[in-house]
Amino acid sequence: MDALLIKKAQEAFPEFEEKIDSLCLGLEEGNSHFDSNVAKVTEQVKRFVAAVHKSATLETVRIGFCPGSAPKDSNKYLHFDLAEELICSGKRAGIDIGLIILGPISEYLQRRAPSVLKFIKNDSRVLFIDEHVRYDKFAISREIDFYWRVMADWSVSHTIYEAASVEKPILTIDTGFIGNIVDECRLGETISPDFNNIQEAFERLDHWPKINCGRFLKQRSWDVAASRLVAEVQLLEKR
């Protein structure tokens, strides 16, 4: 549990208020060996980004990245639900947004937002790969400007750690825990649910300091977690 969730947990479980603490295990690193399928995904992304820039009708072009999956009976993965609104709101604000969506989400959107599913399947501003795919986050990071992630609940999204590890900002909406942690740790920008401040958010992202990523990961590392666990074990041994 992230340290920023302690207050929320204490409100939910007041009888355990003094016992509630945080523990973050840091970023899980993947294998670094060459994978031809990963390379193919990278090439798809590069071609898509080039096409978005070539067809853009506005001076400002930004590329977003939205990886992940969504169980069909879930209701919390709002970044998928709001993909069309992100792109259309950006257009109205004078920004051409291209969005890369990687992961099996068709069943989820077919239940929650079938019109959005149709949009992301057919709009040239979206690269949609509707299956589990491995990708090189560092190669992808060189092609994108931001991660797009909006969660309805108070879970800690792995994407927060991934974005910080490649020093890319997160664009989110002020809802759930991700809105809180992005603001508190300065990991990107939050926009209002009606998207009316999207232009200002992108202007701030252009000057976003990458140093915030290092600070975030340093405070939430495997070393920090190990030290906390050792300290707790030592306290138990003394009892």
Domain that holds residue 66: 57-238
Share of the chain above pLDDT 70, in %: 77
30 in any annotated domain: no
Q: How far apart are CA 66 and CA 85, in angstroms?
A: 14
72 in any annotated domain: yes
Please say whether the beta carbons of 43 and 137 come within 8 A: no
pLDDT tens column, 112-131: 999 999 999 999 999 999 99
Q: Does position 198 have pLDDT exceeding 70, yes or no?
A: yes
14 in any annotated domain: no
pLDDT tens column, 43-83: 999 999 999 999 999 999 999 999 999 988 899 999 999 99
180 in any annotated domain: yes
Supply the pTM of this predicted model.
Answer: 0.80
52 in any annotated domain: no
Length reported for the chain = 239
Q: How many domains are contained in the chain?
A: 1
232 in any annotated domain: yes
28 in any annotated domain: no
**What is the CATH number for 82?**
3.40.50.2000
Q: How far apart are CA 181 and CA 147, in angstroms?
A: 14
Lowest mean pLDDT among 66-70, 86-90, 104-108, 235-239: 235-239
93 in any annotated domain: yes
